């Protein structure tokens, strides 16, 4: 068993589950009617948590992401989400934050379907529409004028009054997190030449955070550039997503404010999807060495970190490749596992999962061998239990 609090593996272990909850770890005896699942020479871990997914999007398999907003519908995206939610669950991720979908709340619909038990998938914290300036990274850019123009209800908001309206509208329709695009990004056709350029003012970001927190919602900020990162942290966001160009000041501010860092490593190393436009490839290549340096700085300084893969930009179900990618960048294997368990629960604001202990949700996964000795086994999850229900077995 991987103990997510200590970062150590011990065993053998017996976990007793009743009614979706862990009743005991290594009990003295088992009830007579206990159903036994013997996982043999495998390591048991808490259900994994991915803090940055896009379950209803598919940027990887083709260039359809460019035209999807005008050629597909919310029903298409919700149906895709059913497929991708199952792939994500099978990869061992029993809880995710879903940080952005095309307009129409397909991510909220998917969350509700999973909650009802209609489709298998992880617990989902959806954001609905990411909040962006007009023409910014999370706006649908690259279309001719008049085509798919959006407003505050779809997250495209300018000025304090509009961003407050955008937050309230997302909350009204069932989101569990608010996402903002504080800077430009890679996978968009924003006319802003610099991938990390600040796109919201401090006053706008502060208004978003104040309104979201008032409604009981945490705020995740997409931010690549230093000025955008620092401005978002000062405004009080709960997490910085990507955080590609951290400075010493960024590190100081994040530690001072308790801001989480949700970086990605695998996506930096992978080959971009077929048909990726040259401008997007150029932005990605520019950021690569900066991302690696930022990750090293944040880890060495002790910034709070949680795992988020950005799946959807690469193939859903490959989320487990993030572990080896982080280890290749110098992070200890145990730390990467904690990023996807106990550290992630702190950012989510829950304490009912992320560890294998009595009283916690029976979200459990198993991999062959010992991930502290060979982290790549996290790409081969062979057993998945969510709230006591077995979804995958060897």
Q: For the segment 157-212, what is each residue's pLDDT rounded down to a tens digit?
A: 999 999 999 999 999 999 999 999 999 888 776 655 577 889 999 999 999 999 99
pLDDT > 90 fraction of the chain, expressed in percent and rounded: 83
Query: What is the SS3 assignment for 169?
Result: helix
Tell me if 48 sits within 8 A of 93, measured CB to CB. Answer: yes
Q: How far apart are CA 120 and CA 89, in angstroms?
A: 8
CA count, 13 A, side-chain hemisphere, 201? 8
Report the pLDDT value the prediction gives residue 211, as an integer from 0 to 100: 98
For 46-357, CATH gives: 3.20.20.140
Structure tokens at 315: 């193939």
- In our burial notation (b when 16+ CB lie closer than 10 A, e otherwise), range 72-105 reads eeeeebbebbbbbbbbbbbbbbbbbbbbbbbbbb
Both structure tokens of 19:
């009614």
Query: Measured between alpha carbons, how far is 73 from 62 in angstroms, rounded to an integer?
Result: 17
pLDDT number for residue 274: 66
Do 391 and 51 touch, CB atoms closer than 8 A? no
Q: Residue 70: exposed, middle, or buried by beta-carbon count in 10 A (0-12, 13-18, 19+)?
A: exposed
pLDDT for the residue numbered 192: 53
Q: How confident is the model at residue 63 (pLDDT cuts 50, 70, 90)?
A: low
How far apart, in whole angstroms, are the C-alpha atoms of residue 36 and residue 26?
Answer: 13
| 306-364 pLDDT tens trace | 999 999 988 999 999 999 999 999 999 999 999 999 999 999 999 999 999 999 999 99
C-alpha dihedral sign at 296, 298, 301, 305? negative
The full 3-state SS of 128-151, as one line of letters, equals CCCEECCCCCCCCCCCCCCCCCCC
The DSSP output letter for 285 is: H
Q: What CA–CA distance (Å, rounded) separates 286 from 371?
A: 32
CA-CA distance, 194 to 91, in Å (whole number)? 35
Q: Is the dihedral of CA 247, 251, 254, 257 positive or negative?
A: negative
Tokens of 108: 């909220």
Bridge pairing between strands 21-25 and 15-18: antiparallel
């Amino acid at each position: 068993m991987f103990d997510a609090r200590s970062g150590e593996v011990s065993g053998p272990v017996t976990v007793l589950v009743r009614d979706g909850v862990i009743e005991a770890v290594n009990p003295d005896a088992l009830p007579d009617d206990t159903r036994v699942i013997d996982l043999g020479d495998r390591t048991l871990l808490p259900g994994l948590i991915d803090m940055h997914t896009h379950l209803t999007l598919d940027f990887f398999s083709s260039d359809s992401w460019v035209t999807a907003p005008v050629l597909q519908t919310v029903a298409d995206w919700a149906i895709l989400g059913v497929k991708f939610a199952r792939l994500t669950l099978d990869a061992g991720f029993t809880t995710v934050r879903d940080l952005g979908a095309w307009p129409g709340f397909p991510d909220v619909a998917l969350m509700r379907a999973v909650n009802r038990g209609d489709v298998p998938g992880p617990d989902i914290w959806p954001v609905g529409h990411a909040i962006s300036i007009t023409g910014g990274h999370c706006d649908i850019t690259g279309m001719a004028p008049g085509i798919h123009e959006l407003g505050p209800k779809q997250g495209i908001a300018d000025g304090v009054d509009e961003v407050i309206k955008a937050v309230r509208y997302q909350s009204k329709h069932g989101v569990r997190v608010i996402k903002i695009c504080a800077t430009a990004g890679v996978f968009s056709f924003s006319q802003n030449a610099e991938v990390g350029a600040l796109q919201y003012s401090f006053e706008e970001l502060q208004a978003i955070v104040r309104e979201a927190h008032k409604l009981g919602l945490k705020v995740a900020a997409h931010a690549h550039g230093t000025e955008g990162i620092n401005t978002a942290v000062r405004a009080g966001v709960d997490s910085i997503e990507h955080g590609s160009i951290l400075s010493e000041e960024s590190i100081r501010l994040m530690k001072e404010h308790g801001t989480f860092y949700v970086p990605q490593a695998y996506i930096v190393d992978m080959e971009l999807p077929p048909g990726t436009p040259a401008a997007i490839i150029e932005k990605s290549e520019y950021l690569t060495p900066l991302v690696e340096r930022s990750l090293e700085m944040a880890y060495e300084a002790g910034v709070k970190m949680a795992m988020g893969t950005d799946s959807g930009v690469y193939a859903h179900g490959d989320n487990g490749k993030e572990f080896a990618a982080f280890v290749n960048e110098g992070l200890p294997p145990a730390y990467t596992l904690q990023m996807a368990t106990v550290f992630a629960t702190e950012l989510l604001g829950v304490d009912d999962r992320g560890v294998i202990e009595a009283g916690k949700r029976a979200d459990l996964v198993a991999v062959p061998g010992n991930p502290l000795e060979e982290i790549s086994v996290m790409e081969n999850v062979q057993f998945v239990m969510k709230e006591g229900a077995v979804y995958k077995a060897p």
